[in-house]
Structure 1
Amino acid sequence: VSSGNDFETEVQDIELRVQRPSYNADIKSISTSQTVEAGSNMPIDIVLKNMGYNELEDLYVTVQVAELGLTKTAYFGDLAFIESCEDDCDKEDTVSGRLYLSVPYSADAGLYDLEVKVTNDDTSSTMTKQFNIANDFAENTVVPSNSKTFSVGETASYDLIIVNPTNALKAYTIVSDSNKYISTSVSDSVFVVPAGSSKTVTITANAVEEGDYSFDVSVLSGNTLEDTITFNAEVEGQAGSSPIVVLTIVLAVIFLVLLVVLIVLLGRKPQTEDFGESYY
């Protein structure tokens, strides 16, 4: 090559050969649904290829969603390295497999990281992919109202709706707190809810003196605490007379008045008429 300074520069072609690493388990692809429904099984398809120049023995693949505590491990076997291959011999250094993760019904809706890790005694590879969880029933307890105002001597009722979004029958236990100021009870403390159904439980409370109180209600499924709900009670002074009590008193007064009048009438002596004597 000539330049303006009357000298020549020679450019030579240099062949470079990049050697593969000794051991390299390459994760070629991770295939799964972009959106997964809570409570369903999530299939994960994985393709691995041996990109090293040594055979990969005893490969294990682990998939996990750390935020949900989900993990699953499977054995993928050995992958050979083919220096030069023809036709379909690449199948010998490539393997595919499917694993499943069970997404819990209680998983919150949102984005999660799916981590895929391939390991053996010689190498380790990791790849991460995001997916979305859809959940219309992240909470299996619904409380229409957790606050009530009532008077001393009255009984307040709170509704608690238990939802079973799973595909299996579930047994529940409801435990309510009481103390020296407020007493509580549950209409159904132990019951079962069929799959895909719900049940309404009534919690009643009454207090011995006015004030602001709170009490907890725990929902258990087996030995697992599903939820704890705090209820509030604003208790006022003594309750006024109810209409039934007032009516009873009025009727009693009327009855007494009528009884007195009857006694007076019966106690009066009949008057005799004096006609005198008649002479003819």
Structure 2
Amino acid sequence: MKAVKIILLAMLMIIALTGAANAAPMPVEINDVQVDDVTLSPDHTTRLDVERGQTVEVEVLVTALEDVDDVEAEAFLSGFEYNSWERAGDIVGPKNFDANTQYKLEFKIPISDEFEEDDYKLRVLLTNRNNEEVIQNYNLKIDVPRHRVRIDDVVFYPENSVKAGSALLATVRIENKGEMQEDDVKVKITIPNLGVSATEYINEIEDTDDEEETEELFLRIPQCAEPGLYDVEVTVSFSENHFSEKITKTIQVTENPLCAKDDEKPKTTITIGSQMESFEQGGSAIYPITITNSGRESKSYTVTVDAQDWADVRMSPSSTIVLGSGKTQTMYVSVDADKKAPQGAQAFTATISSSGEQLEQVALTANITKAPGNALKIVLEVVLILLVVLLVIIGLIIGFTKLRGNKEPEIEDDFQTEAYY
């Protein structure tokens, strides 16, 4: 009898230990799964088509039946060749769930354009420290976009840095990640801050992972470009220029010894011809401003003048000019005073700037004098008219006198002749 009791007790202990070893199921249910706002059904025969080369958004709605701690949720795709480097999955948590509560879990899963076109399973997995996992599978079809080109590599020569004034050579390697062949693919390289670019065409790139490389693209770095790092923009246009891909690289430009800086020499010289002019009400004056660009590169200069209520102020030939290295040009501030402009010294300011930076402010003065009165003007006009009339009368008298003097001898000669005969 004792032996039977001992055996029964041993069996009960084994059963208890076996139950303790088996973890309890996690009291969480997966209610709904959406991929890019499309609801999926677990293990359904209909697959959702997803294009590679993008990031898909996955929303999972779960319900906690009991209080659960330290829940981790993961959504992922298995079977991708490069999952160790480009994980096709996302994880949320750990989180504590309250009983009888729904939770929305959001994931962002990058689908590399190295995915093979095939069927895959999206797996949604819930785990914690002790409970059994909860997992559901959803069928996806990873597809290839119709048009897609990827810039695989850009190789520069020289590779790391280039001296100002030298040539920079570049080759661009391109891979077709779409399902259509691409013809006349345009490849353009630009260094915006240096104003240089080069363009090359690839006749065709066959469909689905075919690779092509451009011929060498030639860019001449300006002779005296400032040393430093410059962005190099690589743009590939394809499918009749309806699509494009762009990446940015950097290149180090080193100083050209022939363009050593002379810090003591000013890059811009401004000369003012006259800062004060005197003229009457209703009159005008011109103030010349001469600008010399002693820098190594072209610069734009702008002269602005304060608006005045007593005069019309304008710039000629224009308010903005562009000067090449070593070039000089004169700009003119023209001032046309009103007929009722206030008398005396009228001050105004001309500001010279370049690329948004103020270089100099010049104070200019117009000394306005009173214009002659209308009465004096009328008197002068009358006197002038009388002088003209007087001169005309004198001219007529002299003319008649000469004409009469010429005719009298002829009459006398005729008389004498008649008397003689």
TM-score normalised per structure 1: 0.46
* Larger-gyration structure (1/2): 2
Q: RCO higher in 1 or 2 (8 Å CA, sep ≥ 6)? A: 1
TM-score normalised per structure 2: 0.32
Structure 1 or 2: larger helix share?
Answer: 2
